[in-house]
A and B are shown apart, each in its own frame.
Chain A
Amino acid sequence: MSERFRNTLTVSLIVVMAAVLVTLVVTSPMREDRVQSIGDRIKCPVCQGESIANSPSQMARDMMALVEERVADGQSDEAIIDELLFSYSGAVLLDPPARGPTLILWIAPLGGLVIGVGVILWWRRHPPGLGSPEDPAPQRSRARKLAPLLALAGAFAVIVVVAGFFLQDREGPATGVANLAGEDLDDVSNETMEAVIAANSDHPQVDGMRLALAERYYEAGDFRSAFPHYLAVAGSSNAAETEAVTALIRLGWMAWEGNGEVATALNLFDEALAIDAESDTARYLKAQVLWCGAEQRDEAEGLLEDVLADPELADESRDLIQADLDAIRSGGSCA
């Protein structure tokens, strides 16, 4: 068998095989009806690599029913597929689209075929042992020997990086919604806090958020909204002592300020002081109610003196309390 004949035979075989492959790919959909053909191209979104035409899942059956309906409506194949692409993106296609980043997946096999044919032809024409006049001298510098290796390593790295970029997960931007949960509570609305509290009412750490929300309402003068949250914190067995004291003090002040309920307010202040007898706020506000609501000046005076005896009391507060104390002692009415 001559060299030329072997070369011709090899190339002919490759060409015939390629032609058969192309024919199979191009003509196979022609044998099927349109619904089946489209179904074969669509990947079942809830399956592992199955088309909706072949999957028994409910989702696949529903999608096939949709395709059937669209075909019956006279829509084109591409229009039907585009409708699904609009919802699912290219992830719903079994074959990657022959455009954009996935074009390389279609070109690569063809390129491989061309290179392979070229290599075989060259090999046939230059069998081992014949040598080549273009062969370089056997003695090369070390650097020249390493250069191709380095070039290949660089090309390898580039291929991995580029392919990784095109094939990477598209899980959304780093500023996705889940990251919002980690934001400062100042950016979280009252409604969100209400929802979180309602959904986690049994959670042992919810009292902190309850108190923060109640304080927002309180500072806005919305006692009605603040009340249930303060009440829940005051009655919670999970609340920290400071949280319970704050809630009781606020409840006491709202009872007095909002409804003029002296006895209720005093009871709540006493409950707070039972937990923290050194609470300046509880003592000061109780003194206010005793003075303004119950005319019990002596007891109010005693409480304010106790507060003033606290060496850690802020200067501004000290001035305010001293002014109240002076007013009580001089028989003045509360402001």
Chain B
Amino acid sequence: MRNGLRWLGYGVALVAVGFAVVLASRFGTDPGLVDSPLLGQVAPVFDLAPLEGGESVSLDELEGDIVVVNFFASWCLQCRNEHDALTSTANAFGDDGVTLVQIAYQESPPNSIDYLQTAGRSEHAYYLADPGSRTAIAYGVFGIPETFFIDEDGLVVGKIIGESDALTLGATIDAIKRGESPGQSVTGDTQQRPDQ
């Protein structure tokens, strides 16, 4: 019986070490890299005003289109890097039932407007403000850039965490047009607002 107790002690110690190993292996991993629970779900609706103000744009208006929702900010380096790819994708697919919606993330509209003046815009895209981060919260944004793909039926079928490029964006849209659900991919780091 005393031997049994000793083995029980060893067992408890080993269990503790096992959990410690597993938990230690989690150090340094980004907790934001979880599967988006939105994948396969109806996309959260939004009804947001353009950065310059004026008539708001809602997701409902875009029903029937493939909608690419991208959260961006001028302070985000990765967003700057991917901007040309987003613009060219919007231009290339603009007449083909694809709409780009870029939503400014935790940035005042004047700053976003200044940035877009330099970075450029697509005539097939909307550039919207998100007061109170309500839409960013609804989409479960951990950091930017994050890009969501909504199919013609209004379901979230794809998500890119990190900087994307034109081939990835276009190939994702091609896949959605073929009726596929591309799912989620992590292409790089995301960024938080510098003062956080």
Contact = CB atoms under 8 A, between A and B. Distances in A.
A311 to B, nearest CB: 41
Given A58-B193, A172-B183, A180 B1 contact: no
Interface in A154-169: 155-156, 159-160, 163-164, 167, 169
Contacts of B137: 62-63, 66, 84, 87
A331 interface: no
Interface in A127-179: 132, 134-136, 148, 152, 155-156, 159-160, 163-164, 167, 169-173, 175-179
A192 B106 contact: no
A176 to B, nearest CB: 3
Interface of B: 1-3, 5, 7-12, 14-15, 17-19, 21-23, 25-26, 29, 31-38, 41, 44, 84-85, 87-89, 91-93, 96, 106, 132-134, 136-143, 149, 158-160, 165-175, 177, 182-187, 192-193, 195-196
Interface of A: 45-47, 57-59, 62-63, 65-66, 84-92, 108, 112, 115, 119, 122-123, 126, 132, 134-136, 148, 152, 155-156, 159-160, 163-164, 167, 169-173, 175-181, 183, 187-189, 191-200
Q: Which 5 A-B pairs have the closest CB atoms?
A: A192-B170, A176-B185, A172-B184, A198-B88, A87-B140
Contacts of B18: 156, 159-160, 163
B170 A195 contact: yes
Contacts of B175: 177, 180
Nearest to B16: A112
Contacts of A89: 34-37, 140
Given A87-B38, A87-B138, A176-B184, A45 B84 contact: no
Contacts of A66: 132, 134, 137
23 contacts: A46-B196, A47-B196, A58-B133, A58-B196, A59-B136, A66-B134, A87-B139, A88-B142, A90-B34, A112-B12, A136-B3, A156-B17, A160-B18, A160-B22, A175-B183, A177-B172, A180-B182, A183-B171, A189-B177, A192-B92, A192-B166, A196-B166, A197-B88
A89 to B, nearest CB: 4
Contact of A181 (B38, B96, B133, B165): B165
Given A90-B34, A169-B29, 12 more contacts: A59-B136, A62-B106, A115-B12, A119-B9, A152-B7, A156-B18, A170-B33, A176-B182, A176-B186, A181-B168, A181-B171, A188-B174
B186 A172 contact: yes
Contact of B170 (A92, A136, A189): A189
Contact of A163 (B19, B106, B195): B19
Among the interface residues B17, B167, B169, which one has the most CB atoms of the partner chain A within 10 A?
A: B167
B170 A193 contact: yes
B5 A122 contact: yes
Contacts of B173: 189, 191-192
A181 B32 CA distance: 23
Contact of A191 (B1, B9, B84, B92): B92
B35 A86 contact: no
Contacts of A62: 106, 132-134, 136-137
B32 A45 contact: yes
